[in-house]
Structure 1
Amino acid sequence: MRNINHLSYEEFLHSQIAAMTSCQPKNFNMKFLELALDGIEWFKLDRITLFPNSMILLNDGKTISVSREHIPKLDKQKFLLGNYIDYLKLLRSKQEYQIFDCESLKNSKIEPLRALYDEGARWHGIVHLELFGQTWGALAFARFSNDEPEMTQQQLKRLKLLCDTWLVYWQHSTVTRSLSHGTDKLFDENEKLLRLSKKQCTVLTFLAQGLTAKQCAKKLFLSPRTVESHKYRMMDLLELESHTELVQFALRNGLGIDG
C-alpha cells in the first residue's frame, strides 16, 4: 500500500482519474484493487466493499471488496444471518450517507451489523450510489478500531465523489469488455475505421441505430441492394463475421449515436 497521505484531495483524485483513464478495460479490475487500496489509505479506512443493491450477498460477480492486510477479508456467508434482508434495504435508502458507530453496531437489531461488530468493526458507513438516475447500490466501509476520529461531512462528500468516479469507470469497462468479448479488438479499431468511406460510415451508423437495409436505403436515396452491398463490404474490410458483430463494432466506436 502506497503512502499517499501527503497528497491533497485534488491531487489524490487526479491521480485516481489518470490511472483509470490510462487503463485498458481488460485490466481494470486489477487496477481498481490498487486504487481502492489507495482510497483506504487516504481516507484511513480498513475495508471497503462496492456492490449493487439486488441480493448483493449472493452476487459474487458484481462485488468488489478490499481490505488492509491485517483486516479479515469480507466473507459474505458470515453475514447471511436472520434479517440480512433488512441490511439490503439500507442500500435502497435515499440518504447519501448512513453511519453506525461502535454502540450502534453492537446493539443493532440488524444481525449483519452485529456480525460486523463481532468481527471487529467499530465504525461502519454506507454511501448511496446512483447511476442514470436510478439507485445502483452502495459503497460500504468500515474501521476496525477507534483510533481515528469520525469522518466529517466534507470527508464523506469527498468519499462519495470518489465512489461515483469509480462506479462510472467500472461500469464503462464492464460494458466495453462485454462488447469486445474480452479480447483486444479495441486496440486497432481506430485504424480499421479509416478503411471505411464516408458513405459506409453513414450506412453503419443507421444500422447501429436499428434501421433495416430498406429503411437505410430510403434515408440515403439508395437501393436496398446497394445498402446490403455496403454492409457486406464493411464486414469484409473490418474482418467481422456477422451483422451483430458489425453493429457492436459501431456501438463501441460511437457510430450508433443519433445526433
Structure 2
Amino acid sequence: MKKTIVIVDDHILIAQALKGIIENFEDFQVLYECENGKDLQDKFQLKKPIPDIVLLDISMPIMDGFETAKWLKKLHPGILIMILSMQNDEQSVIKMIQLGINGYLLKNTSPYELEKALKQVAKEGFYYQDWASRIVFASLNNKKEEQRTIKLTDREKEFLKYTITEMNYKEIAEKMFCSPRTVESYRDSLFEKLELKTRVGLAVFALKNGFE
C-alpha cells in the first residue's frame, strides 16, 4: 500500500513539479497540495484525507513552516514531517529538529535522493542529509560541557544504546526486560533532561557521547 503525501509550499509551480516527480515513485502518492499551513488546517477541517507524510516548505506567508510543524506535532503527532526548503542555516535546522520534524532536505536535491529520503522516513522515522547532520553534531558539541553535568541513570544509559538501532520501543522493552510503558518513561525522562523531543535527537546524543 502506498504511503500518502501532502505538499505544503506557496510556490505553485514547485508544488506541482514535486507532485509530478513523486507520482513516479512506486511507493508514494500525493493526495493534494497546500499553499501554507493555514491552507493545510483548512483542508483538514474540510475532512480531506490525512496523509502519512507532509512535505513542508519553511518560508511561506500567513503560516510558515515553523508554525505548521508545531501545529502538526501538537494535534497530529502521527504525521511524519519532511522539510523541503532552500534554508540551510543552522538556526532553521536546529529549530526544526527541536520541533520534532523527521527529515530535512534542500530543494536542490535530486529526485533519487528525495525518493530515498521518503523511503527512510517512512521506514525508520528520520532522514537527514550529511550537511544537516553536521549542524546537529556541532550543536551538541557546543553543549558538551553542559551535558557532562546531566546525571543519567544506568537504565537510561542502557536505553540510549538502543536508540541508535533499528529496534522499535516494544523491541527495546523486550531487550531491557521491562514493559513498553517503562521504556516510554525512560524516553520521556531523557527528553526532559536533554531538552530533546525526538528519537533522532536521542540517537545523535548517544552517538556523540559514546553510548554504543
TM bucket, shorter chain: 0.3 to 0.5
TM-score (norm 2): 0.34
Q: TM-score, normalised to structure 1's length?
A: 0.28
Look at both structures and tell me which one has the larger radius of gyration over its CA atoms: 1
